[in-house]
Structure formats: structure tokens, C-alpha cells
A and B are shown apart, each in its own frame.
Chain A
Amino acid sequence: MLQFSLVILLAADAAGLAAWEKIHSVLTSPRCINCHTATNYPQQGDDRHRHFANVIRGKQDKGVIALSCATCHQAKNADSTGLPGAHNWQLAPLSMKWQDLNDRPLPSAEICRSVKSHLDGPHLVKHHEEEALVLWAWNPGRRPDGTMRTLPPLTHAEFVEATRQWVKAGRPCP
């Protein structure tokens, strides 16, 4: 009986970790991780280079006066000019950094712990399902050169489903 429970427990854990890996693959994709920096600047592009024009974080993660995120980014994508946009466009606070100071993604376990520390299960699912800045990643708009920005590796529906699975499995971290 104990062995059977252990097998179920291990299976559940494995499923939960698999779900986390799916979530992690999205979080560390450029459309998400570019604004979850540990530095005082955002990144841009699939190559995740430092954002041009000396744009910086500022005290409230929204840039500085005259060079705030809102100086360019509006509440919606501006496809005609290549500017991405969404409601409340800003950097994630440093407490939600998913990179180190050398712009390298943190270990999966560390990101996992960070995610867990901010929102409980139900709120996380809601966040992934409805938050404008999250949704933006699947509607990232056109670059100034006319090409479309690349999407995260999963569909939004798959991402939300993976989140549900992970929460259901007790949010295991590697």
C-alpha cells in the first residue's frame, strides 16, 4: 500500500516537474525574460541585447522622467512603427528577476522558488491566464523592420494548462 502511494507520489512529482519545465521554457523565452532582468535595464530582441537609447529601470521599474517606458510604449502594439505595447508596460521588479547580473538566466530551481514566493496557486493561474503583460507575449507585434516577433515555445493555452498542472501537483521545484 505504501509502495503504491509512493509510486503515485513519485508520478505526481514527475508530472509536476514536467509541468514546471513547460512553464520555465516560456518564462525564459525572450518575450518574457527580456523584462525580468537583474540589472537596471531591460533587454530586447531574440538575442536579448541591452535595450537601445540608454533606457533604464528607474525607481519604480517604469524608467525615468522623459525616458520612461511610456515615453515610447503605449497600451497596445504599434505595428506600423514596430513598437510593442500593452497596458502597464514596465520592467518586472527586481524581486522577480530571472537573470543574473551578467544577463544569464538563473537556474530553473531559483526561478521556480521565485515564482512560488510571489503568488499562490490560484492567483498564479489567473495571472498567467489574464494579465495583459503576460498575454502580450503571444501577441508581441511587428518589429520596425516589418517582421513579426517570435512567440514563446508553447501556445498560451498550453502555458495556462501547464500552470494548472503544476499547481495541482503542489508546485514542485527541481
Chain B
Amino acid sequence: MGEGGEAMSMTTYDLQVNGRRKSVTVDPSTPLLWVLREDLKMTGTKYGCGIGACGACTVHLGGVATRSCVVPIALVGGRSITTIEGMGRDPVGRVVQDAWVEKDVVQCGYCQSGQIMSVVALLKSNRKPTDTNIEESLGGNLCRCGTYVRIREAVKRAAEKLA
């Protein structure tokens, strides 16, 4: 990161986003979130807080649910990036989205990309999450509209369909 007044060196990064190769030239300190939103015009991943406290920016990085607002593009490396835009083509992602619609989970919807990405990560690792598993894994995803009750139901519904 540049200090003082000197210009920052733009760097080209080759990224794997939802199975496609993308190339961006940005300042290395730019969080992955803003590369996705502004350079790749993929606005499904949301800015909620910028410090990793709310989960709205959750993507999968190398298969791990990751908060893209705190990860500078320089630290991404060769890890594959999956975003909410890719969930429709993912077998677990699709089931989760359908469960979300079936249970009418969303209200404003702004946090839901992050919620869904977190839930998909959970279900890929644990097909039968308990109430405690759900509460712990989603423990850091903020929803100001308060959709948590239906989120719990929808996670269980998705798990049911994946069983």
C-alpha cells in the first residue's frame, strides 16, 4: 500500500470467477469486494460494513466462505472465486435459492447474498446441520430486517431436499 503522496502501482491479476477467467488491473490494496463490484460489474456481492462484521460480502475463495471486504486482491493468489451469481449453476446453491424463495425469506434482500453463500458453505460441509450448527455458522451474518426465523426454516428445508 502506498504511503504519503507517491502513486500506487497498478497490478494485473488473473482471476477465476465462477469458473471463468477474468483479468483486472487495480491497486493491490483494493479489497476483492470492490474488484468484483466495480471492475467486474458483479454487484450481487454487497458492501455492508467493510470490516468483516456483517457477512454481506461473503464469497467462496478456494472453496472457503470468505468476507471479500477485508481481503485485498493482492492476497487472493490463484484461489478460485465463487460469488452469488454462480450459485444458480451450483447444485447446492440452487437448492438453497429455491428454499429461500419457497420460504419467502427475503425482505430488503441486501444481506441475502451473504446469507446464501454462508449457508451453501455450511451445507456443502454438513448435510444435516443442527439448530446449533446453523446458529453458529450464521452467527456473524447480520440482517437488519430480522429474517433469521425464516432463514432457519429455509436452511432446514434445503437440507431436507439435499438429503
Smallest CB separation, B55 vs chain A (Å): 8
Q: Within 8 Å CB of B125, what residues of A?
A: 65
Q: A56–B135 Cα gap in the complex (Å)?
A: 11
Size bin of chain B's contact surface: 20 to 34
Complex contact A144–B1 (CB within 8 A): no
Q: A46–B64 Cα gap in the complex (Å)?
A: 29
Q: Within 8 Å CB of A64, what residues of B?
A: 133, 136-137, 139
| B146, CB-defined interface residue at 8 Å | no
Complex interface residues of chain A between 143 and 158 (CB less than 8 A to chain B): 144
Q: Residues of B with Cβ closer than 8 Å to A?
A: 1, 29-31, 50-55, 58, 64-67, 69-72, 75, 118-119, 121-122, 125-126, 133, 136-140
Dominant secondary structure at the A interface: loop
Residue in B31, B69, B125, B137 whose Cβ sees the most chain A Cβ within 10 Å:
B137
Complex contact B70–A72 (CB within 8 A): yes
| Residue interface mask A24-54, B partner, CB < 8 A = 1 | 0000000000000000000000000000111
Smallest CB separation, B15 vs chain A (Å): 16
Q: A65–B66 Cα gap in the complex (Å)?
A: 10
Q: A83–B70 Cα gap in the complex (Å)?
A: 6
Q: A67–B129 Cα gap in the complex (Å)?
A: 14
Q: Within 8 Å CB of B137, what residues of A?
A: 64-67
| A80, CB-defined interface residue at 8 Å | yes
